[in-house]
Structure 1
Amino acid sequence: MRGVFKLKYHQTNVKKEVIAGLTSFFSIVYIIAVNAKILEDAGIPLEAGIIATVLSSLVGCLLVAFMANAPLILVPGMGINALFTYTIVGSMGLNYMEALGAVVLSGILFILVAFTKLSTILSEAIPASLKESISVGIGLFIAFIGLQKSGIVIGNSHNFVGLGDLSSPIVMASIINLIVTLFLFLKKVPGNFLISIIFGTFISWLFGIVKFSQLDADFISFDHYKNVLMSADFGKITTIPFWTAVFSMVLVLVFENIGLVHSQVNGMLQAPEKSGRSLKAISISTIVCGFFGTSPSVSTVESAAGITAGGKTGLTSVVTGLFILLSLFFIPFIKLIPDAAIAPILIIIGGLMLTNVVNIEFSDFTEAFPAFLVIIMIPLTYSIVDGIAFGFIAYPLAKIFTNNHKQLSLSSFIISLLFLTNFLLQVVH
């Protein structure tokens, strides 16, 4: 083990790596319940979503451990799972099996990007303001989904949305848990989200939302998962919506992972030689996710917890992945977790993603307005793809109108043209 991960060279030891792996596990274990709940909205049975999340997380952590020897956590990511469920399945008309087919194909394209210089070309081609606005827009979207799941925000026939019934049990339980979750997060309590899920489930039980009598006696059942595993469907590969889904996922995966890997591997670890290998591992894990039955994995922000705890090698990731695998024995308890325990986490994660707004150059309106369109249109259209499209189409127009067309790269112009073509095809049909 020491030789495989070069512990001596990295000035670490097994004890430090195990502690870092445990720290990473407790910081990210909430994703099992949260991701499965979001996949359930796409039609994937809850238990199957839990198993898919666990297995893809295990493989992702092993890939980055042995390919890059980096202490990163690879799990199905927040934001990209919302894109999968609420845009690709919810708005674009693909079922979850066809969406999984799009995940597999996006993984193949992501591999082409990660294993060549395309990652650098794409990263430099897309304006920084648009890249940052995608994160902000997705953050608002995730927070909006959390507010809906909590019942705090509901549909309104006059104003489209409105305030929910504050006296309803699910709203009261969600608000109480949101306060507790915020307290734990701001106090930087280790495993804060995991603690909030446990507390939120208990509070929901007190309000009569959860009934512990419904706890299953069987611990692990793969009955539902058999229909999800390897169910990726490529039947709509010749259609525009399928390729729009693929292109959108590649766009989000490339920008999100390049940013996260750079900040964690280059910044925190100061090991730039591991960046490229980490990105390659993530790209391969995307294909694995598609076949296992979940939305794509990303290098999560929570990786910073393990690195801060002293993790320097892939052994940290191996420990995290193995503990995630052990979570399968808690499936009956995970299935009991209600929306009131999940919603506060979505709201807080949305707020965290909003902080990227400070990186947008609002002093230049040709940069600010397209970014604004992305941010506002993602939640209002309930579609990450459509929101991104509005911003990418507006960007070249803003530059051309101000005689700043020289600031446009050929790649960004082509991407804008593709989004515009997609809209025009929708009009024709």
Structure 2
Amino acid sequence: MLANFKSLTKEQRKTEIIAGLTGFFAISYIIIVNPIILTDAKIPAALSVFATIFSSALGCLIMGLWANAPIIITPGMGVNAFFTYTLVIGMKLDWQQAIAISIISSVIYMIVAFSKVSEKLSQAIPQELKIGITAGIGMFLVTLGLEKAQLITQGDSRSLLAVGDLAKPEALLALFGLALTLVLYLRKTTGGFMIAIIVTSALGAVLNIGLQDPPKVSLADLWQYKEILAQGDFSSLFSLKFLLAVFSMTMILVFESMGILEGLLPEADKFKKTFEASSVATFCSGFLGTSPTVAAAESAAGIESGGKTGLMSLVSGGMFLLALFFIPLLSYVPQAAIAPVIIITGAIMMQQLKAINFDDFSEWFPAFLIVVLIPLTGSISVGLAFGFAAYPLVKIAAKKSQAVTPLLAILSILFILQLICEAVFL
């Protein structure tokens, strides 16, 4: 793999480095947000910061060297919420048991990834569902970016969302960043996303707008990190609750990862290796003391900045390690600087909808459900479940049952079972 990096020209390496930096800053919020979410699962925030950084750095290293793909690996947003609020709080498991569930689920994920099952699954998923997954994740990113920019907020009883207070300095800074990012992107400026992040952050620092309090973490606390290493509790392995949790977690990991990678990868022939690398990284994350890692949708920010190889992933991984020493400096990169990149990246991902045949309701309705439900529920797995469950129904109703392969029918049934299990038992 190192030979592949040596074959890059100086200009290509520069582009990959810029892409890696852009991707890192787009996802850097995970260093602060993931520990905050896992705190509710009773994992100490100070130690969870180390787990988040190390699992991300290791995942990016595996991705860069094994798959040579421009994909950033971090603990997944949505998956960490499932880990905390469903497994620990909802099912009343402790975080050690949730870690054990993550490890077992990741083993199944690896079996799928390293076997021919992954290729058969990929081939069995109709193109319109793949497009729906990509566009749905894109819409999710747009929503996430608008929230981070404080341009939208939670609505009242009359609406789900409402326009934010556009008079707030944070919202005005985000609007400036969005305008700057759009201009640089449309003019195809090299490193435009990175330039926009730096300029907006500098303006925010000068005006003292949107600066965050960094987590109270010191490298002196690193010796305590062993307290959350390899702490999985498998004592309830064969209980119904444990097995149902493993089933749901596995469905999320396999199909969310497959959907994200199908949508992000600039070269489809790298899917197999990338899927394998992601599964290994996910397996390692449990032993490192955090919720499962997945391919970050924010990788698209780096890819749109020109990232095409694993060098981008390695640069992002290196930045995660450097963040150990500069965590307080992350407070100078406000959400208003990151949000425009996330918004535009999500919009770019939604462009794939143009490939769907909108003249055939049975073609676009399942994709429509995925696109709508992912951002509205904040769960990629829920969007996938409804889309996959609806596909056979609409095809059979439209007298196009030949489009429903046996494997796709099985997948649809599994997703329906996942929804039922989550509603009844979880």
* Fold shared per TM-score above 0.5: yes
Q: In 2, are the aligned partners of 1:24 and 1:303 still within 8 Å (CA)?
A: yes
SS at match of 1:253: helix
Shift of 1:204: 3.2
**Quick one: which of 344, 351, 356 aligns to 1:355?**
351
SS at match of 2:359: coil
Measured in 2, the distance between the counterparts of 1:286 and 1:143 equals 26
Larger mean Cα displacement after TM superposition, 327-336 or 371-380: 327-336
CA spacing shift, 1:117–1:87, aligned 2, 3 Å: same
Measured in 1, the distance between the counterparts of 2:307 and 2:210 equals 36
Tell me which amino acid in the other structure corresponds to 2:360.
Answer: D
Q: In 2, are the aligned partners of 1:174 and 1:340 still within 8 Å (CA)?
A: yes
Shift of 1:52: 4.0
Q: In 1, are the aligned partners of 2:191 and 2:305 still within 8 Å (CA)?
A: no
Which structure 1 segments of 5+ residues have no match?
267-273
Measured in 1, the distance between the counterparts of 2:95 and 2:334 equals 22
Q: Give the structure 2 partner of residue 367 of structure 1.
A: 363
Measured in 1, the distance between the counterparts of 2:403 and 2:212 equals 60
CA spacing shift, 1:232–1:198, aligned 2, 3 Å: farther
Indicate yes or no: 2:287 matched with 1:291: yes
Q: Give the structure 2 partner of residue 271 of structure 1.
A: none
Q: In 1, are the aligned partners of 2:210 and 2:335 still within 8 Å (CA)?
A: no
CA deviation profile, 1:303-350 (whole Å, cap 9, x unmatched): 586666xx6xx7776566445533433221014433223322322222
Q: Give the structure 1 partner of residue 375 of structure 2.
A: 379
Shift of 1:15: 6.3
Q: Give the structure 2 partner of residue 83 of structure 1.
A: 78
Shift of 1:76: 2.3
CA spacing shift, 1:66–1:369, aligned 2, 3 Å: closer
Shift of 1:171: 1.6
Which structure 2 segments of 5+ residues have no match?
none
Aligned length: 408
SS at match of 1:162: strand
Q: Give the structure 2 partner of residue 270 of structure 1.
A: none
CA deviation profile, 1:181-239 (whole Å, cap 9, x unmatched): 32333334444444333333333345544569989896775378566554566669625
Larger mean Cα displacement after TM superposition, 276-285 or 376-385: 276-285
Q: In 1, are the aligned partners of 2:152 and 2:164 still within 8 Å (CA)?
A: yes
Q: Give the structure 1 partner of residue 122 of structure 2.
A: 123
Tell me which amino acid in the other structure corresponds to 1:140.
Answer: M
Tell me which amino acid in the other structure corresponds to 1:143.
Answer: V
CA spacing shift, 1:248–1:64, aligned 2, 3 Å: closer
CA spacing shift, 1:360–1:407, aligned 2, 3 Å: same
Q: In 2, are the aligned partners of 1:42 and 1:96 still within 8 Å (CA)?
A: no
CA deviation profile, 1:259-284 (whole Å, cap 9, x unmatched): 655x4374xxxxxxx76444433321
Map residues 223-234 of structure 1 onto 2, 5 A cutoff. 229-230=229-230
Q: In 2, are the aligned partners of 1:58 and 1:325 still within 8 Å (CA)?
A: yes
Shift of 1:112: 1.2
SS at match of 2:38: coil
Map residues 276-315 of structure 1 onto 2, 5 A cutoff. 276-292=272-288, 293=290, 295-298=292-295, 300-301=299-300, 302=302
Measured in 1, the distance between the counterparts of 2:316 and 2:211 equals 31
Q: Give the structure 1 partner of residue 55 of structure 2.
A: 56
SS at match of 1:82: coil
Q: Give the structure 2 partner of residue 157 of structure 1.
A: 157
Q: In 1, are the aligned partners of 2:72 and 2:313 still within 8 Å (CA)?
A: no
Tell me which amino acid in the other structure corresponds to 2:38.
Answer: G
Measured in 2, the distance between the counterparts of 1:113 and 1:5 equals 27
Measured in 1, the distance between the counterparts of 2:81 and 2:200 equals 24
SS at match of 2:165: coil
Q: In 2, are the aligned partners of 1:84 and 1:99 still within 8 Å (CA)?
A: no
Q: In 2, are the aligned partners of 1:21 and 1:320 still within 8 Å (CA)?
A: no
Q: Give the structure 2 partner of residue 345 of structure 1.
A: 341
Map residues 21-32 of structure 1 onto 2, 5 A cutoff. 22-32=17-27
Measured in 1, the distance between the counterparts of 2:312 and 2:20 equals 10
Shift of 1:249: 1.9
Q: Give the structure 2 partner of residue 246 of structure 1.
A: 250
Q: In 2, are the aligned partners of 1:32 and 1:50 still within 8 Å (CA)?
A: no
Identity among equivalent positions (%) equals 29
Shift of 1:19: 4.4
Backbone CA RMSD of aligned residues: 3.8
Larger mean Cα displacement after TM superposition, 241-250 or 370-379: 241-250
Tell me which amino acid in the other structure corresponds to 1:75.
Answer: I
Measured in 1, the distance between the counterparts of 2:132 and 2:286 equals 27
Measured in 1, the distance between the counterparts of 2:291 and 2:174 equals 26
Shift of 1:411: 1.7
Q: Give the structure 2 partner of residue 269 of structure 1.
A: none
SS at match of 2:162: strand
Q: In 2, are the aligned partners of 1:219 and 1:332 still within 8 Å (CA)?
A: no
Measured in 2, the distance between the counterparts of 1:96 and 1:358 equals 43
Tell me which amino acid in the other structure corresponds to 1:171.
Answer: A
**Quick one: which of 239, 263, 267 aligns to 1:264?**
267
Shift of 1:246: 2.4
CA spacing shift, 1:146–1:233, aligned 2, 3 Å: farther
Q: Give the structure 2 partner of residue 196 of structure 1.
A: 196
Q: In 1, are the aligned partners of 2:143 and 2:343 still within 8 Å (CA)?
A: yes
